[in-house]
Amino acid sequence: MKYVISSVALLAFAAGLSGCGDSSTPDAAVSATTASINGDQFLLADEPDGAIGVIEARDTAEDGQPLVIVGRIGGAANPWIEGRAAFTLLDASMALVADGTESQEGEICLDDCCAEERGKCTTLVKVVDADGKLVAADSRKLLGVTEADTVVIQGTASKDESGNFTVLAQGVFVRR
Protein backbone atom coordinates (compact mmCIF):
# COMPACT_ATOMS: atom_id res chain seq x y z
CA MET A 1 0.00 0.00 0.00
CA LYS A 2 2.87 2.41 0.82
CA TYR A 3 4.35 1.57 -2.59
CA VAL A 4 1.12 2.52 -4.40
CA ILE A 5 0.73 5.80 -2.51
CA SER A 6 4.39 6.67 -3.09
CA SER A 7 4.08 5.86 -6.79
CA VAL A 8 0.97 8.02 -7.20
CA ALA A 9 2.63 10.91 -5.36
CA LEU A 10 5.75 10.57 -7.50
CA LEU A 11 3.70 10.54 -10.73
CA ALA A 12 1.75 13.62 -9.63
CA PHE A 13 5.00 15.43 -8.82
CA ALA A 14 6.54 14.44 -12.18
CA ALA A 15 3.45 15.63 -14.06
CA GLY A 16 3.77 19.00 -12.33
CA LEU A 17 7.40 19.29 -13.37
CA SER A 18 6.74 18.27 -16.97
CA GLY A 19 4.61 21.34 -17.61
CA CYS A 20 1.19 19.75 -17.82
CA GLY A 21 -1.56 22.33 -17.80
CA ASP A 22 -1.96 25.72 -19.41
CA SER A 23 0.15 25.94 -22.57
CA SER A 24 0.21 29.75 -22.41
CA THR A 25 2.54 29.76 -19.42
CA PRO A 26 5.82 29.92 -21.43
CA ASP A 27 4.48 32.79 -23.56
CA ALA A 28 3.39 34.64 -20.45
CA ALA A 29 6.86 34.21 -18.95
CA VAL A 30 8.52 35.55 -22.11
CA SER A 31 6.11 38.50 -22.27
CA ALA A 32 6.73 39.31 -18.63
CA THR A 33 10.47 39.16 -19.24
CA THR A 34 10.21 41.37 -22.34
CA ALA A 35 8.01 43.87 -20.51
CA SER A 36 10.47 44.08 -17.63
CA ILE A 37 13.49 44.83 -19.85
CA ASN A 38 13.85 48.30 -21.34
CA GLY A 39 15.00 47.80 -24.93
CA ASP A 40 16.08 51.44 -25.19
CA GLN A 41 19.32 50.52 -23.43
CA PHE A 42 20.30 48.42 -26.48
CA LEU A 43 19.16 50.88 -29.17
CA LEU A 44 21.73 53.35 -30.48
CA ALA A 45 20.56 56.91 -31.22
CA ASP A 46 23.26 57.43 -33.87
CA GLU A 47 24.62 55.05 -36.47
CA PRO A 48 28.16 53.95 -35.61
CA ASP A 49 30.90 54.68 -38.15
CA GLY A 50 33.02 52.08 -39.89
CA ALA A 51 30.42 49.33 -40.39
CA ILE A 52 31.44 46.38 -42.55
CA GLY A 53 29.23 43.76 -44.15
CA VAL A 54 28.65 40.25 -42.87
CA ILE A 55 30.78 38.64 -45.59
CA GLU A 56 33.77 40.86 -44.82
CA ALA A 57 33.30 40.42 -41.07
CA ARG A 58 33.27 36.62 -41.38
CA ASP A 59 36.63 36.84 -43.20
CA THR A 60 38.40 39.51 -41.16
CA ALA A 61 36.94 39.75 -37.65
CA GLU A 62 38.99 38.32 -34.81
CA ASP A 63 37.52 36.56 -31.80
CA GLY A 64 36.89 38.93 -28.91
CA GLN A 65 37.58 42.10 -30.92
CA PRO A 66 35.18 45.06 -31.24
CA LEU A 67 33.14 45.09 -34.42
CA VAL A 68 30.60 47.27 -36.23
CA ILE A 69 28.60 45.28 -38.78
CA VAL A 70 25.69 46.11 -41.09
CA GLY A 71 23.12 43.82 -42.66
CA ARG A 72 19.45 42.96 -43.03
CA ILE A 73 17.57 40.78 -40.59
CA GLY A 74 16.92 37.58 -42.52
CA GLY A 75 18.76 34.92 -44.43
CA ALA A 76 16.80 32.09 -42.82
CA ALA A 77 13.23 30.82 -43.13
CA ASN A 78 12.76 32.03 -39.54
CA PRO A 79 15.52 34.49 -38.59
CA TRP A 80 14.33 34.79 -34.97
CA ILE A 81 15.33 32.90 -31.85
CA GLU A 82 11.96 32.74 -30.12
CA GLY A 83 11.90 34.44 -26.74
CA ARG A 84 15.51 35.61 -26.97
CA ALA A 85 17.20 38.74 -28.28
CA ALA A 86 18.90 36.95 -31.17
CA PHE A 87 18.40 36.85 -34.92
CA THR A 88 20.07 35.96 -38.20
CA LEU A 89 21.72 38.80 -40.11
CA LEU A 90 22.20 38.68 -43.90
CA ASP A 91 24.90 40.66 -45.72
CA ALA A 92 23.27 43.79 -47.17
CA SER A 93 24.72 43.03 -50.63
CA MET A 94 22.65 39.84 -50.90
CA ALA A 95 19.03 39.55 -52.00
CA LEU A 96 16.70 36.67 -51.23
CA VAL A 97 14.88 35.00 -54.13
CA ALA A 98 12.08 32.45 -54.14
CA ASP A 99 13.01 28.81 -53.60
CA GLY A 100 13.53 27.01 -56.89
CA THR A 101 14.51 30.22 -58.66
CA GLU A 102 17.91 30.26 -60.35
CA SER A 103 20.10 32.53 -58.23
CA GLN A 104 22.13 35.22 -59.95
CA GLU A 105 25.18 37.05 -58.58
CA GLY A 106 24.24 38.62 -55.23
CA GLU A 107 21.10 36.49 -54.86
CA ILE A 108 20.41 33.57 -52.61
CA CYS A 109 17.41 31.35 -51.91
CA LEU A 110 16.33 29.70 -48.69
CA ASP A 111 16.26 26.23 -50.25
CA ASP A 112 18.78 23.54 -49.24
CA CYS A 113 20.75 24.06 -52.46
CA CYS A 114 21.96 27.44 -51.18
CA ALA A 115 22.70 26.39 -47.58
CA GLU A 116 26.49 26.52 -47.94
CA GLU A 117 26.42 29.87 -49.74
CA ARG A 118 23.97 31.27 -47.15
CA GLY A 119 26.37 30.25 -44.39
CA LYS A 120 29.04 32.49 -45.93
CA CYS A 121 26.85 35.61 -45.92
CA THR A 122 24.89 35.28 -42.67
CA THR A 123 25.69 35.42 -38.99
CA LEU A 124 23.87 35.04 -35.72
CA VAL A 125 23.49 38.23 -33.69
CA LYS A 126 22.97 37.88 -29.94
CA VAL A 127 22.03 40.99 -27.96
CA VAL A 128 23.85 40.69 -24.65
CA ASP A 129 23.58 42.55 -21.36
CA ALA A 130 26.40 44.25 -19.43
CA ASP A 131 27.47 40.83 -18.08
CA GLY A 132 27.72 39.38 -21.61
CA LYS A 133 24.61 37.20 -21.19
CA LEU A 134 21.99 36.78 -23.91
CA VAL A 135 18.97 38.97 -23.16
CA ALA A 136 15.92 36.82 -22.38
CA ALA A 137 13.44 38.85 -24.42
CA ASP A 138 12.18 38.52 -27.99
CA SER A 139 14.25 40.85 -30.19
CA ARG A 140 11.18 41.93 -32.22
CA LYS A 141 9.56 43.35 -29.09
CA LEU A 142 12.75 44.43 -27.34
CA LEU A 143 14.18 46.38 -30.30
CA GLY A 144 11.07 47.04 -32.39
CA VAL A 145 12.58 45.33 -35.44
CA THR A 146 11.05 43.26 -38.22
CA GLU A 147 12.42 40.90 -40.84
CA ALA A 148 14.31 42.72 -43.63
CA ASP A 149 15.10 45.74 -41.42
CA THR A 150 18.60 47.04 -42.02
CA VAL A 151 20.52 47.26 -38.77
CA VAL A 152 24.00 48.35 -37.74
CA ILE A 153 25.34 46.32 -34.85
CA GLN A 154 28.04 47.50 -32.45
CA GLY A 155 29.50 44.59 -30.56
CA THR A 156 32.15 41.94 -30.30
CA ALA A 157 33.11 39.17 -32.71
CA SER A 158 32.88 35.61 -31.45
CA LYS A 159 34.60 32.87 -33.44
CA ASP A 160 35.23 29.31 -32.36
CA GLU A 161 37.70 26.67 -33.55
CA SER A 162 35.10 25.26 -35.97
CA GLY A 163 34.79 28.61 -37.75
CA ASN A 164 31.37 29.52 -36.35
CA PHE A 165 30.93 33.28 -36.30
CA THR A 166 28.55 35.17 -34.00
CA VAL A 167 28.21 38.83 -33.13
CA LEU A 168 27.63 39.70 -29.47
CA ALA A 169 25.73 42.97 -29.76
CA GLN A 170 25.93 45.67 -27.13
CA GLY A 171 24.08 48.20 -29.31
CA VAL A 172 21.75 48.15 -32.31
CA PHE A 173 20.99 51.01 -34.69
CA VAL A 174 17.91 50.48 -36.87
CA ARG A 175 17.98 52.31 -40.19
CA ARG A 176 14.56 53.84 -40.87
Which burial class, exposed, middle or buried, applies to 134 when counting CB atoms under 10 A from its CB (0-12, 13-18, 19+)?
middle
Residues 104-123 as b/e (b if ≥16 CB within 10 A, e otherwise) read: eeeebbbeeebeeebeebbb
- Residue 33 is predicted with a pLDDT of 53
Q: Which CATH number fits domain 37-174: 3.30.70.1280, 1.10.3720.10, 1.10.1380.10, 2.40.50.140?
A: 2.40.50.140
Tens digit of each residue's pLDDT (9 = 90 or more) over 21-68: 333 334 333 333 556 799 999 999 999 999 999 999 999 999 999 999
Tens digit of each residue's pLDDT (9 = 90 or more) over 7-23: 333 333 333 333 333 33
How far is Cα 147 from Cα 127, in angstroms, rounded to an integer? 16
How far is Cα 109 from Cα 77, in angstroms, rounded to an integer? 10
Where do the domains of the chain lie?
Answer: 37-174
How far is Cα 70 from Cα 73, in angstroms, rounded to an integer? 10
Tens digit of each residue's pLDDT (9 = 90 or more) over 128-174: 999 999 999 999 999 999 999 999 999 999 999 888 999 999 999 99
- Residue 35 is predicted with a pLDDT of 60
Question: Measured on CA atoms in the order 156, 132, 149, 143, is the torsion positive or negative?
Answer: negative
Which burial class, exposed, middle or buried, applies to 37 when counting CB atoms under 10 A from its CB (0-12, 13-18, 19+)?
middle
